[in-house]
Amino acid sequence: MKFDISYRDHGTSARAGLLSTDHGDIASPFFMPVGTAGTIKALHVKDLREEVKAQIMLSNTYHLYLRPGAHIVSAAGGLHKFNGWDKPILTDSGGYQIYSLGDIRKFTDDGVIFQSHIDGSRHVFTPEKAIDVQRQLGADIIMAFDECTPYPCDQAYALKSMKRTHYWLTRCMSHFAQTECPHGYTQSLFPIVQGSVFPELRVESARFIAQQDAPGNAIGGLSVGEPAGIMYDMTGLVCGILPDNRPRYLMGVGTPANILESIALGIDMFDCVMPTRNGRNGMLFTRNGIINIKNEKWKGDFSALEEQGEVYADLQYNKAFLRHLFMSKEILGAMIATMHNLGFYMWLMKEARNQIIQGTFSGWKETMVKQLMQRL
RNA sequence: GUGGUCGUAGCUCAGUUGGUUAGAGCGAUAGAUUGUGGAUCUAUAGGUCGUGGGUUCAAGCCCCAUCUUCCACC
């Protein structure tokens, strides 16, 4: 994996670069659509490639391990062969899912014992296990097994949780070094900074992560309920410590405004369920602001979803029809909203990159943050 | 025609021995949603208790009439 920074913004820490993997290059900053179970819900791979024009997709270790099972994906030749997406893939390690989905889970220093959200069966995940499963799945970028520290939490717990994540990281890296991808290409392991909302802990964690000299670094444990200002403070603090010449990945973020502000702080990679999950529930992100398509006011509005939009759905369908589909719970509604929202997020990232290259990012960002987040 | 039965929110229904401002689910109208359970959560609106009389301090509830639903019999 190689990461080259080609342009830097003057007024902010934003940068535009190129990340190279065995499944192709990715222009940064970029957004990764989330395909938990190996698929972007309600979207064909063809549309992800040709309409949305995604450069990389994210998938999930926890979900694929439980169903269909890593051995099935591996037998197919890895996730790219299994789902037909031949561009880069990143898999999350499962730490976050165990945190967010598990009713019954038990953390030990060795790992986590958790119950499946599907059938209640018991499983054990250790750092080694998370690496083994991600080797089998075969994503280009794989994530260290971490504990996403809950918010709010006290500093004592945040410290303990951070230490555990660091300990697990050393085991992940050790096991990663002793294994190889069974599918014949290179995988890269990204470590994750924790430390909750405590500056001292974030600094300590960022220093520890920076020492590992990983090909890329992630920031976790944010956008879990804390105020946006705190998220930006922590992100800026950590970005100042993580290596400048490696991609920085802010996990789980976020809204269009969150993303633009974080790009300004030096983040290169994002993922979030918001455009897809909220899309399936009727929330549209547009260049003029946010639409709840189920609102009665769109009942007779026959204008296009997005006049300047670049995906097929934007001009093919009008707002009143899309509202009708949602009110009728028609499957096509979720498909249209998903394609539109991902198309919008891709446009946002492409435009941010263009603005960085042209040296106009800072002013453009200020205008966009206000415009994109207003409710229509 | 006779006897019984039903009628409460847009829909399906609770509603105690007659006792505070008649409730729920769904639907509707809005809001939330950040390393995904097409999910979930929150709030709001919505009622001449079929209609008209009567009894009572007090009626969705008891009495009379009438309309309506469904059933049985002639």
pLDDT in tens, A60-91: 999 999 999 999 999 999 999 999 999 999 99
Taking the stretch 151-170 of protein chain A, residues with Cβ within 7 Å of any atom in nucleic acid chain B are none
Through-space separation of residue A327 CA and nucleotide B23 C1' in angstroms: 27
- List the A57-60 sheet strands across, edge first: A57-60, A89-92, A141-143, A188-190
A60 touches strand B (CB under 7 A): yes
Nearest to A91 by CA among A65, A111, A67, A128: A65
Q: Is the CB of A375 under 7 A from strand B?
A: yes
Cα dihedral angle (A344, A53, A277, A121), rounded to 10 degrees?
-160
Nucleotide nearest to A271 (CA to C1'): B35
Spacing of A319 CA from B9 C1' in Å:
31
pLDDT in tens, A269-320: 999 999 999 999 999 999 999 999 999 999 999 999 999 999 999 999 999 9
Residues 12-51 of chain A with CB under 7 A from strand B are 33-36, 40-42
Cβ contact A258 with chain B strand, < 7 A: yes
Element holding A2 (H helix, E strand): strand A2-8
pLDDT tens digit at each of 376 positions of chain A: 999 999 999 999 999 999 999 999 999 999 999 999 999 999 999 999 999 999 999 999 999 999 999 999 999 999 999 999 999 999 999 888 887 776 667 888 788 888 888 888 888 999 999 999 999 999 999 999 999 998 999 999 999 999 999 999 999 999 999 999 999 999 999 999 999 999 999 999 999 999 999 999 999 999 999 999 999 999 999 999 999 999 999 999 999 999 999 999 999 999 999 999 999 999 999 999 999 999 999 999 999 999 999 999 999 999 999 999 999 999 999 999 999 999 999 999 999 999 999 999 999 999 999 999 999 9
What lies within 8 Å, CB to CB, of A231 at 6+ separation is: A222, A223, A253, A254, A258
Instruction: Please state, in angstroms and rounded to a whole number, the distance separating the CA atoms of residues A269 and A358.
Output: 20
Task: Tell me whether strands A30-33 and A269-272 are parallel, antiparallel or unpaired.
Answer: parallel
**Residues contacting A47, CB < 8 A, separation 6+:** A311, A312, A339
pLDDT number for residue A104: 64
Q: Which long-range contacts (CB under 8 A, 24 or more apart) does A3-9 make?
A: A3/A28, A3/A215, A3/A216, A3/A245, A3/A246, A3/A247, A5/A244, A5/A245, A6/A357, A7/A356, A7/A357, A8/A356, A9/A264, A9/A356, A9/A359, A9/A361, A9/A362
Using a 7 Å cut-off to protein CB atoms, list the covered nucleotides of chain B: 28-40
Q: How far is the CA of A319 from the C1' of B65 (A)?
A: 55
A25 is catalytic: no
| CA-derived radius of gyration, chain A | 20
* Separation of alpha carbons A194 and A204, rounded Å: 9
- DSSP-derived secondary structure letter, A297: G
Nucleotide nearest to A279 (CA to C1'): B38
ipTM confidence: 0.89
Nucleotide nearest to A220 (CA to C1'): B35
Q: What's residue A202's pLDDT?
A: 98
Q: What integer pLDDT is reported at residue A160 of this predicted model?
A: 94
Return the closest nucleotide (C1') to the Cα of A223: B34
Nearest to residue A346, comparing CAs of A16, A27, A26, A52?
Answer: A52
What is the pLDDT, as a whole number, of residue A102? 63
Please state, in angstroms and as integers, the Cα–Cα distance from residue A376 to each residue in A297, A314, A337, A373, following that order: 10, 17, 16, 9
- Structural contact between residues A227 and A197, judged by C-beta atoms closer than 8 angstroms: no
Catalytic residue from among A140, A146, A268, A271: A271
- Per the annotation, the verdict on A119 as an active-site residue is no
Instruction: Please report where in the chains the tokens 């080797």 appear, as a residue.
Output: A135
Give the pLDDT score at A346.
98
Strand order across the A269-272 sheet: A30-33, A269-272, A248-250, A217-219, A192-193
- Rounded-to-integer distance, Cα A226 and Cα A149, Å: 12
- Residue in A47, A92, A268, A314 annotated catalytic: A92
Sign of CA dihedral A142, A146, A147, A148: negative
